[in-house]
Structure formats: C-alpha cells, structure tokens
Amino acid sequence: MLRTLLKGLAVYRTRTFVPNEIENRQDGPRRSVAALLDMVDTSAEAFPFIAEQLAHMRDAGIELTKETVAIAVQLGENRHRRAKMCLSASPRPVPASIVYYIRRSDLIKIGTTINPQRRFRSLMPDEILAFEPGGYPEELARHTQFSRCRVGRRVEYFHQHPELLEHIARLRERHGPPDPQWPSVETLGAGLPRSRERIVLPEPVSGERVTATEGARMLGIAKSTIYGWAHRQLLPSCGLSGDKGLNLYYVEHLRFLRERHRPWLANIEVGETGSLDSD
C-alpha cells in the first residue's frame, strides 16, 4: 500500500492528485487509501522532505497506517524547518541556485548547484538541456516526480522517458535556453575558428599512457579539453586503467594535440573550455 501512496504523491502539484491505479471510476479513490492521501499536502513547502521519509519507510518495509504516515509528515516537516533555520542563520546571503537537467550519454542527470560554471566544468556534460530556479527541496521534488524513470534509488540519473523530456521542453519555454557560456562538450570552444584539416596522430613510441586527469596535470591543460578531443574522436582511447576503469590515452597523442591547438589554448582560461576541430 505504501508503494501505491508514493505513486500517488510522485507528481509535485498544488492540488490533490489521485493516481489511476487507486481510483474507483464510480466512487473515486478507494477508502483505504483516500484518507491517507488527504494527510499529505503536496502543495506544502515541506512536501519533498515528507516524500523522502515515506520512501525511507517503504525501503524499511514499514506498514502504511494513519499513524506511520503522520510520523512521516512530522519528520518531513521537522527536517524542512531545520533546513530553513540553517539558511536563515547564515551570516552571508544565500546565492541563487538552480536545478539543472544535463545529458551524459543516453542518460539525464537532475541536480542542483549555486555555481553552474564550476559544476558543469567538473561534470562536462554532453549537453545542458534546461534549468529552473531551485535548490535541494526542488531537486528532491523532481527526483520524486520522475522516480519511475530513475536508473537507481541512490543516483541522480534518469532514462529519457517522454514525460521527462516534455517537462524539459516546458522548462526551456518558461526559462529560456541554458546560458551558452556554461561549459559542456557541445559548447566547447564556441566562437573559435575551426580547422577542417583531417588530423593524423603520430605513432606512439614510448607507449606511456595516462588518464585525462593525469594528462591535464602533466601538460598544463584543462581536463575538459581532453574530453572534448575524445568526444569528437580526435583522441582515441588506448585502454582502461586497471583500478577505476578510466579511459587511457597515449601521452604522445596528447602532446601532439596540445601543440596543434596552442594558438587556441593560449586565449582560453584553463578549466573553462577547450579548442575544437571539425569531425
């Protein structure tokens, strides 16, 4: 029954939501569930925290009753109050934050950040799809809303379900497209001249191999630049590291590409973007 209630509360709305699977078409929601639905106000600011407590109860196998739902509501409201107190107690102004939607390979990540430049530079997504104002509560609400698309319970990655894609399209209409200055593989080196000359990498002699992080540190370039080369198939992987399974690259290939792109790299702030070549 708890699973059924959570499905009913999954969509973050300002009105009472009754899922099809618990609705009697003649009499409305089943009486065993209707009373429990009325106990949770989906329009309340504390709703994401309440939904999280209900999810924990589900995972622990706790039976759904009026008493256990009331406890989840109290716990969620208490967590919400504590979160607001922590924010109000801070002597510094709270910076504006966003909930972002980015694509990495075939999956969509929903997260939150107060520094999009730094966050996207670290993640280096394939594409930044959309954003909306919000912080942790709003992020949690979206995780709950699209829980059936989620790859796993403890991760922030989601399958490209039509419901999620429609939501992203609505966000783009409401808030506009993402800032083109935000780092991503799609926008690496935007505005820089591109060479259409086909690149032929030299034959490696030493056989020395490094990960993108090690290569960036060794050559003094941005890790995102190496990711951009690899994404555009300018830099082939030569294997995987044994401990973490990361892609390895020949150092000689990295040095060659660095020298070839030196005129571009000299005018780019390290860590924010990289140079481009046409595929």
| Shared domain check, 200 and 171 | no
pLDDT score for 17:
38
Residue 167 has a pLDDT of 95
For residue 182, tell me if it sits in a domain: no
Which pLDDT does position 86 carry in this prediction? 58
The residue with greater pLDDT, 57 or 255, is 255
Range of the domain at 160: 98-175
Pair (192, 278) in one structural domain: yes
Residue 243 has pLDDT above 70, yes or no: no
What average pLDDT does range 228-252 have in this prediction? 84
The reply to whether 227 falls in a domain is yes
180 inside domain? no
Instruction: Please write down the HEC assignment for all residues of the chain.
Output: CHHHHHHHHCCCCCCCCCCHHHEECCCEECHHHHHHHHCCCCCCCCHHHHHHHHHHHHHHCCCCCHHHHHHHHHHHHHHHHHHHHHHHHCCCCCCCCEEEEEEECCEEEEEEECCHHHHHHHHCCCEEEEEEECCHHHHHHHHHHCHHHECCCCCCEECCCHHHHHHHHHHHHHHCCCCCCCCCCCCCCCCCCCECCCCCCCCCCCCCEECHHHHHHHHCCCHHHHHHHHHCCCCCCCCECCCCCCECEEHHHHHHHHHHCHHHHCCCCCCCCCCCECC
181 lies in some domain = no
Share the mean pLDDT of the chain: 76
| Residue that is last in its domain, among 89, 120, 141 | 89
Same domain, yes or no: 77 and 18: yes
For residue range 50-65, list pLDDT tens digits in order. Answer: 888 887 777 778 887 8
**80-134 pLDDT tens trace:** 787 776 555 444 443 489 999 999 878 999 999 999 988 888 787 889 999 999 9
Q: Are residues 270 and 219 in the same domain?
A: yes
Is the pLDDT higher at 273 or at 196?
Answer: 196
| pLDDT tens-digit series, residues 62-75 | 887 888 888 888 88
Averaged pLDDT, 210-224: 88
Question: Which of 208 and 191 is assigned the larger pLDDT?
Answer: 208
Q: Across residues 217-241, what is the average pLDDT?
A: 84
**Are residues 65 and 45 part of one domain?**
yes
Flag whether pLDDT at 171 surpasses 60.
yes
Confidence (pLDDT) at 76: 82
What CATH number is associated with residue 225? 1.10.1660
**Residue range 217-238: average pLDDT?**
84
* Residue 265 shares a structural domain with residue 197: yes
Examine the domain organization and report whether 226 and 167 are in the same domain. no
pLDDT above 90 covers a percentage of the chain that reads 26
In the chain, the number of structural domains is 3
Q: pLDDT band for 150, please (50, 70, 90 cuts).
A: very high
Range ranked top by mean pLDDT from 104-118, 215-229, 235-249, 261-275: 104-118
Does this model's pTM top 0.75? My answer is no
Residue-level pLDDT at 53? 80
Same domain, 195 and 263: yes
Query: Do 103 and 62 lie in a common domain?
Result: no
Looking at the fold, whether 147 and 205 belong to one and the same domain comes out as no
Q: Specify whether 199 is located in the same domain as 270.
A: yes
Answer whether residue 125 is part of any domain. Answer: yes
pLDDT at residue 274 is higher than 80: no
Residue 39 lies in a domain: yes
Q: Are residues 204 and 123 in the same domain?
A: no
pLDDT of residue 264: 60
Predicted local confidence at residue 108, as pLDDT: 93
